[in-house]
Structure 1
């Protein structure tokens, strides 16, 4: 959705080229999140840590999408990624709730 080019214009920092070692490392780290459900199923503490990290960062950091437009030299408007924040933040908060009070969600 053109988030990285827009963020690059905002910060002045270039995004890594597709297929570069840095971008491949980023893809590998992103794919590692797919292990979280497996680690949680095995009741591995690393899985719980990663899930908390993912839910907390999604539930809090994603709000920055609504702040980014204030740094642009134009009237406040859409910044890439704003639309996907709307369903992601409540889902992340729900995930944190389920992890904090698992028995409450089975009532």
Structure 2
């Protein structure tokens, strides 16, 4: 279960993903297959970023966190960002179609 700030983070990442999917479609031929492929690639990139923040990337020798500057609270608190982000995307995009 995510809190409001975590949900806002996921929503913002989804908006970034959607924006770049649309830009990639405009730059390439406009067909449904291409859009789905671009969507999957961009989702995978964002998932990888969230995995990195969660500590599942062996390339980093240090731990990352996302901290709310006002409250000093971690957005990682109590969840795995990468899993919850994908759950958020699934629910958000299910409503869209």
Q: Which has the higher contact order (CA 8 A, sep 6+)?
A: 2
Question: TM-score interval w.r.t. the shorter chain?
Answer: 0.3 to 0.5
Q: Give the structure-2-normalised TM-score.
A: 0.35
Structure with the larger helix share: 1
TM-score after normalising by structure 1: 0.33
